[in-house]
Structures are given as structure tokens and as C-alpha cells.
Amino acid sequence: MPIIFDSEKKIFKLDTLSSSYIFKIYDENYLVHLYYGAKIPDYNLTDFEDRRMYASFSASNPNLLRTGFSADVYPLEIGCNGCGDMRIASLQIRNADGNASTDMRYVSHKIYAGKPALKGLPALYANEDSECMTLEITTRDKVTGAEAILIYTVFEKHSALTRSVIIRNTSEKPFTIEKVMSFNLDLIGKDFDLITLYGRHNNERNFERRALAHGRQGIGSRRGSSSAQQNPFMALLRHGATEEYGDAYGFNLVYSCNHLCEIEVDFNESSRIMMGIDPSDFGWLLSPGEEFYSPEAVLVYSNEGLGGMSRTFHKLYNNNLVRGQWKKAKRPLLINNWEGTYFDFDDDKLFNIAKWAKDIGIEMLVMDDGWFGLRNDDRCALGDWTVNENKLRGGIGSLISRIKGLGLKFGIWYEPEMISPDSDLYRAHPDWCIHVPNRDRSQGRWQYVIDMSRQDVRDYLFDKMSEVLAHNDIDYVKWDFNRNITEAGSALLPPERQKEFFHRFILGTYELMDRLTKTYPHLLLENCSGGGGRYDPGMMYFSPQIWCSDNTDALSRVDIQFGSSLCYPASVQGAHVSASSRSGYETKRNVAMWGSFGYELDPAKISKEASEEIRTQIADYHKYYDLIHYGDLYRIISPWEDPYKVAWEFVSEDKSQAMLTVVVKFFKEARNFFIKLKGLDPEKFYKCDHNGEVYSGALLMNAGLSMYHLPDGDGESYVIHLEEVK
């Protein structure tokens, strides 16, 4: 059983494939954490609960003075504000008396097969109830009547568990939730390195590793999105742990708005970890009988280092996060016109691109920004989602008919959450833009953000999108989000609920995406936010692929893709070949093959030789699709370890084939070097397509493969395929 409860010792034990998570009901019904780490068969962990050392200034529950217990020093499953725990709190409620003292104690629990949905929120799911098991623990503050239901779901085969919290008001008075984190985890010690993913537009998800220090440290976003600046992911690696060895804990928040990922190392050398909605611009007024659902957090433990942690996330997300028709179906290879034409296109220019695409083997044309309203540049018309028939003569139906006549699929671009000040929609409904009274409305990229917390706004958007989607044969939608939120407020929310705005905004976005994908289940939805500004598991629940970055330069992309791979699978990663000039088409292809492959270029501007090279690339895309999308990823040489070259490898689940890619970013010196492959079967033999030789998996992993005769100039790259021979 993945979850057991010892009623005599009052201990809960949650087991996955390679980890155990253990806690107990302590005296006075405190939930005390005991252990999270490599899987263990027993739970004789009595000594792990005692943290009385140096607690002389820590207040104690008067009923527990004899034991030396203090909420300030003991490891807890929920850290409450104002009742003895002086560390960062995972829960703070401002009650009807005006104070923010909160004290949650165990009341009851239940264990059952399967996994519950989270109302209004994306979350991991069970394909079958037997796939996972859930523990729900009800805790209650006896003074205020507030309840916190702690939800733990164990994905036994994936070495992962999820955590979330439901806050319920069982009293007769309203109260305000001021902070609710999705989980609270107290680990022994501070001998960890913290890994986070920082960045900006065109340079997302850079790897950063630093040692934990006493006090608070962490990352977050207050931009109205998960952001390119700080992804809602962090990992803890035990000192000395590497890519393939040692303890690694990964944490990822299934949420696309403001978030906080925080760690505090206290005076007892304990590390408290939590993730959730950023509390600085958050508050939620909860009336009697109402519930509030927190976003879900995913926790992964690996004793096989950072790589083992990553591969667990990849398999888990491919199997239990990505949904719908395109979860396993082979996705069409596309060409997007944006970098080829920008706003300067019409139906004939798009048709000419499509003819070239069909001839070369591409399967879908995507028409990007500029097809609607008076949208001839980026300064107008967002919100006016009607077809511009000056560009698309005969309407969009005529263009689609021509494209489909070639045998191609057709996709279209939207930015539903935005509104231009120069638009018919804004002139008709100026209150629909996000704003606060008596302040200038900041513009970003010449646009405002529309108020997705409003039902009338969402209904308008759904109806306008349906006017196009319901009456035309459209296979794909690219959903963009190109600025941060400022002057955050809604014209419909009363003053006491304005701090609910950010969360209501993203709930509205989720609701519209859910309605769209349920109404048009055949659509392949690709998310985008200036590239990778909402590259998070919340968006992956609705869109099985996300545009990784607007930066399509191959030598820049390898860094972005390495960082993204810490927890996000290749199947989700939108990666295209473009006309960028720092490398040739071979390297562009080799980098873009690490993901959902496609093209961003103008065929009229490339040579016949390049076209023929692209034809070969497309054949490789089809040949190795499953290996890349669903194989195990091994980061062989990382850009954060070697500034000159990088290497990665995909290995099929049955270990019958592998693909090694090496990119030389900067030529350093002519020297022989070997690469030791990973993840192969040591007992199997593999034929190398580079030299025709046959090697054992043991030799390839322990002695390595020589790279001596392969390209090593700036921007050059190569791919080596290995296939099992009987």
C-alpha cells in the first residue's frame, strides 16, 4: 500500500517507487513531520521529532510544557502564523476579531484510491484510480472555525507526490485568508544547494545553484504570470550531489500567476520549504460555508541526482498532466509565418509559404499575429477578433480552403487576454481593461490587459473566438500573453475583495481555456507568453506544448532548453528552426529536434540547398519523434558546467536505441575527447551510425565514445544514433 496509517503510533507513511514521506499526529494533535527521502521499509523515527535544543526563547503550548514541545522548533506539516511558530508561515488567516493568529490541529483523515480534481484549477490527474492514492487530513482552528484540508496524493510508480490545501469556513463569521501555501515541508539540516531558474524575455530559465544560508531565501513573481524572470520551480541538492548521483528534491507549482517559492533555514539548522500564491498582493474573503482551493505543488525525490529528478518529472507530466487528443498523438510539423513575414502578409503570401511547406514535407501552416481588425502593426486592434478581409481576400474560409487543398493543416494566433487602447472593443468597453481609479493606465507593447476575472469579458472572448473556430476547419491555436499586469484591479470587485484580483484573473483564464478545449477537443493548443513567460505546469494542463522562447538562435536556445529540462519534458517544448545567422541549418535542426519541432522563416529568402537540407531534417523528425518526445533524457555536458560545448542524449524506454547530440558553442582547442553515454543496457550491443561499429552498452557507458573525428568549430554540431543489434 502506498499510504498506510499506524493507528497505534499515529504515523502516516507515504511510499513511492523510491521515496518515503512520513509524519505523525503528535500530542495535542499537532502534525509533526518525521522524514522525506530515500525509501525505507520501517518508520522507527521517534528521535526525528524531537527538536527542543536551543528552544529556551520559544513559546510552548501550555499543555505540553512537560515535553518541551514548541511549534517554533518542531518540524510541522502546516506552519501557522501567530501561535508559537515564528518561522515563515504556510497559513495566515485574519479572523473576524481582527487578529491573524491561526492554529490548525488534526481532526480526522481519510485514505482512498485515485485523486480529486481541484475546483477551477489545473492539477495532475489519475488515468485510473489504481494509479495513485490520496490522503486527506482535516485540521481545524477551534477558536475561529477555520479548517485546512491537507491533500497528499502519491504517484507510486513515479517517485512523486502532490500537495494542496483547501480552506473551509465552518464558522458563522467571514474571515480573510492572507496567506496559503500549497505545502509546508521541514527538512533536517541546511547542507543543501538551492537550484532555481531565472531569466528574462529571450533568455528564459537559466540555471542558478547556490548554497542555502541561514534566514530566508527564494524566488517568486508578482507580474500577473509565472514569468520569464523566475519560474515556479526549485530544487534542493545535497552538498556534493551531481547530475546523476546524490539526493535531489524537486518542487514545482501548478500555477500560472503570482507565486512565492521560499525557504527558511532556522537557528536549529532546519530548512522549511514552501510554495504557493505570493501573499503580498493576495487576500481572499471567505464567507461562512465557503471553500478556497490552493494551487497544487508537485514534490519529487531522487537519489540519482538532478537527472533522476528530471526524468521523474518528465514521465509524470507526460502521463498525468498533459491531456486530450494530443497527449500521445503525433503532433503535426508546422511552419509559422511570424519571423518570415511579421505583419506584412496577405492570403497569397501565406499560400505561397504553404506550397513550399507542402513540397518540403511540412504538415501545417500557422498564421500568426495580424489577421484581424486593422492589425497592421502592434499598436492596435487587440480584442477586435474579426477577420481582416483586406489581407485575407474572400475571408479566412477561402484561405483555409486553399491551404487544405494542398493537404496541410491550418493554425491561427490569438491573444485573448489583451486589449489595445486603439481598438473598437476598448472604445466600447473601456472598463474592461485592468485598471484602478484615478491612475494612468500603463501600456506595455502598446496594449492593456483585459479583465479575465469578469464573466462578461470571458463570454465575449469565447463568442468571438467561436465565430472563427466553429465555422472554419482550424486545427491549432497559438494562445499568446505579451505583457505583465500593472494597476491590478477590477471595476466589478468591491474594495474588500480587490486583493482577490490576481487569483480571480488566472482562474478566469483557466476557465476560458477549459471551455475552449472542451468545445473544440480536436484543437492543438500551444501556449506562448512572449515566448516562455508562462512556461509552467498550469498552462501545460491545457496546452500540450508551449513556445519555449522567442529566441530561436540555436546557440542561445541550448541554454534555455537545458534549463527548461530540469522539470519540463521535451514533448511540451516548442522549438523551431529559424533564419538566425549564428549557425547553419544542421545545428539549428539538431537543437530544435529537442522538442515539438517546426520552422519560422520565409521560404523566399532561403536557398535551394537549404530547402533540400530541410527536407532531410523533416525525415529525421518523423524517424525519431517517439524517442525524443517520450524517451529518457540525459544531460551529458551542461552549459552551466562547460561554456564551450554541450551534449545531451535521449534513450528509448526499452533501451533499444539512443540519440546523442553535441553542439560546439565556441571552439576552444583541437583535442580528442570521449563522451560516456548514460541510460543504456550494459548487456545489449548497439550499432553506431557514425562509424558502423558495434559496442556494448557497458563499453559506451564506462569507456565512452570518441569524438575525435567529428566537427568542433564554432556553432557546429553532430548527432549520433545508436540502435540495438541482436
Q: What is the mean predicted confidence (pLDDT) over 557-583?
A: 93
Q: Is the pLDDT of residue 669 over 80?
A: no
Question: Would you place residue 672 in the very low, low, confident or very high pLDDT band (cuts 50, 70, 90)?
Answer: confident
The grid coordinates listed for 152 are 497528499
Residue 47 pLDDT level (bands cut at 50, 70, 90): confident
Grid coordinates representing 534 are 508562462
The number of C-alpha atoms within 13 Å of 459 and in the hemisphere containing its C-beta is 3
- Does residue 707 register a pLDDT over 90? no
Q: Is the dihedral of CA 447, 453, 457, 458 positive or negative?
A: positive
Average pLDDT rounded to a whole number, residues 205-224: 97
Residue 671 binned pLDDT confidence (cut-offs 50, 70, 90): low
Known catalytic residues are 480, 550
- Segment 441-459 mean pLDDT: 97
- pLDDT-derived band of residue 60, with 50, 70 and 90 as boundaries? confident
Q: How far apart are CA 591 and CA 588, in angstroms?
A: 5
- Is the pLDDT at 581 greater than 80? The verdict is no
Whether the pLDDT of residue 55 is over 70: the answer is no
Position 87 confidence tier, pLDDT thresholds 50, 70, 90: very high
pLDDT at 18 over 70: yes
Backbone φ and ψ for 235, nearest 5 degrees, come out as -135, 150
The secondary structure of 300-350 as a DSSP string is: EEESBHHHHHHHHHHHHHHHHT--STTTTSPPPPEEESHHHHTT---HHHH
* pLDDT level of residue 357 (50, 70, 90 thresholds): very high
pLDDT at 482: 96
Q: How far apart are CA 520 and CA 476, in angstroms?
A: 10
pLDDT of residue 188: 92
Give the pLDDT confidence score for residue 63 in this predicted structure. 84
Where residue 670 falls among pLDDT bands split at 50, 70, 90? Answer: low
| Structure confidence at residue 53 (pLDDT) | 65
Tell me: pLDDT of 115 over 70.
yes
Q: Does the structure show a pLDDT above 70 at 52?
A: no
pLDDT above 80 (res 88): yes
- Cα→Cα distances 387→68, 325, 415, 528, Å: 71, 28, 14, 21
* pLDDT, tens digit, 9 for 90 and up, residues 291-332: 999 999 999 999 999 999 999 999 999 999 999 999 999 999
Q: What is the pLDDT of residue 1?
A: 86
Closest by CA position to 252, among listed 351, 163, 345, 177: 163
Give the pLDDT confidence score for residue 710 in this predicted structure: 81
| pLDDT at 484 > cutoff 70 | yes
Q: What is the tens place of the pLDDT at every residue in 505-524?
A: 999 999 999 999 999 999 99
Please report the pLDDT score of residue 726 as a whole number.
87
Q: Which domains does the chain have, with CATH numbers?
A: 3-320 (2.70.98.60), 334-547 (3.20.20.70), 633-725 (2.60.40.1180)
Binned at pLDDT 50, 70 and 90, residue 54 comes out as low
pLDDT of 217 > 70? The answer is yes
**For residue range 609-639, what is the model confidence (pLDDT) as tens digits?**
889 999 999 998 999 999 999 999 999 999 9
